[in-house]
Amino acid sequence: MMATTGSNGDDSALMRKESGEGENKKGKEEEENKTKTKTKKTKEEEEEEDREMERNCEALGSIGALFGDPLPCHGDAHTPFLYKYQPGEGERTVKFRLSLPASDVDLMAHYVWEASIKMADLVLSKEIEVKGKRVLELGAGCGLPSLAATTCGAKSILCTDYPDEAILATLKGNVEKNLDEDAAQVLKVQGHAWGTPLGEEKKFDVIMLADCLWLEDQQRGLLKSIRDNLANDGVAYLTFMEHNDHVREFFPLAKEFSLDYEELASMPWGGRELEDFDLEDEEADGLVYFGKMNKVQGHQP
């Protein structure tokens, strides 16, 4: 009698366990279905957000069109910018959704400049080769070129800008929302005032600078940061516009820091061709220039 009663009790317990497992499995499947539905909805919402970003930036840029020319800067602290790059027919479009900082520091980091867009294009097109390399970006702003480098196999990327809380928080936020966990491990954000020690023992194979030359009183500090952190066989790539007369003063000054400059290309922007730019018009925004700097052979910092 006792053995029979024990057996029935075990069977009942087993049935309850199996029933509970079945309910748990069913609940898990329902939760997974909900997650899939939510993911699909989130993707649709992101696509609508992309369209909204583009509409807002177009509306902001239409001010420039009133004067006949597009603006060389996009978005602002209240208007995120959507960057898109199509590598080739049939290939996946690269997208980055970029927030911009509301900083009290007047460094123009609250815009995405055409020079930064061109730098990202050059990285993604492999004209700037970063695969397997240690990469440093100076004056990163929203970090667009650094984000582009993560998709091209860079070994490591140090993305820097002035150590302002709003600028660095925005940079970190752009990394978090645009990169998955593995890609984000490659990219580090750090504050850096030009001319001060970066705190990196190993030097960099590639340094990127987009529109960093226009501040006359910062040029020596910038050149020191390039010289001190560039590997002897490394390359510093620059994209810039001639926003003022001080920009071109940067290159003769570079010789004092044992750095050579070579201009590689002049690039149109805003859907225009080279011949559409009047380079004699000092009031108009001109071309984006692309060049590189190398250490003078035999230089020891």
* Cα Rg of the chain (Å, integer): 26
In a domain, 108, yes or no: no
In a domain, 109, yes or no: no
- Name which of 138, 67, 136, 84 is nearest 109 in CA terms: 138
Whether residue 254 sits in one domain with residue 141: yes
In a domain, 105, yes or no: no
pTM given for the model: 0.79
SS3 192: coil
In a domain, 258, yes or no: yes
More confident residue, 177 or 281: 177
In the chain, how long is the greatest CA-to-CA distance? 108
Domain housing 280: 114-295
Whether residue 142 sits in one domain with residue 279: yes
What does the block give as tokens for 195? 């001319």
Structure-token match 């860079």, residue found: 154
More confident residue, 113 or 109: 113
Whether residue 129 sits in one domain with residue 262: yes
Last residue of a domain, one of 52, 68, 84: 68
Task: For residue range 224-262, list pLDDT tens digits in order.
Answer: 999 999 999 999 999 999 999 999 999 999 999 999 999
Averaged pLDDT score across all residues of the chain: 84
Angle at 121 between CA 117 and CA 127, to 5 degrees: 135
Whether residue 35 sits in one domain with residue 120: no
In a domain, 95, yes or no: no
Whether residue 145 sits in one domain with residue 26: no
Residue 192: left (phi > 0), alpha (psi -120 to 50), or beta? beta
In a domain, 35, yes or no: yes
Whether residue 158 sits in one domain with residue 279: yes
Whether residue 145 sits in one domain with residue 29: no
Evaluate if residue 49 carries a pLDDT over 80: no
In a domain, 77, yes or no: no
In a domain, 131, yes or no: yes
Q: State the DSSP H helix or E strand holding residue 98, giving kind and residue range, or none if neither.
A: strand 94-98
Last residue of a domain, one of 45, 68, 91: 68
Whether residue 278 sits in one domain with residue 132: yes
Residue 218 · residue 246 · CB < 8 Å: no
Task: For residue range 190-234, list pLDDT tens digits in order.
Answer: 999 999 999 998 999 999 999 999 999 999 999 999 999 999 999
Number of neighbours of residue 176 by Cβ within 10 angstroms: 11
Whether residue 161 sits in one domain with residue 29: no
CATH code of residue 199: 3.40.50.150
Give the C-alpha separation, 107 to 124, whole Å. 26
Whether residue 134 sits in one domain with residue 281: yes
Evaluate if residue 34 carries a pLDDT over 50: no
Whether residue 251 sits in one domain with residue 146: yes
How many structural domains are present in the chain?
Answer: 2
Last residue of a domain, one of 10, 41, 68: 68
Evaluate if residue 92 carries a pLDDT over 50: yes
Whether residue 120 sits in one domain with residue 20: no
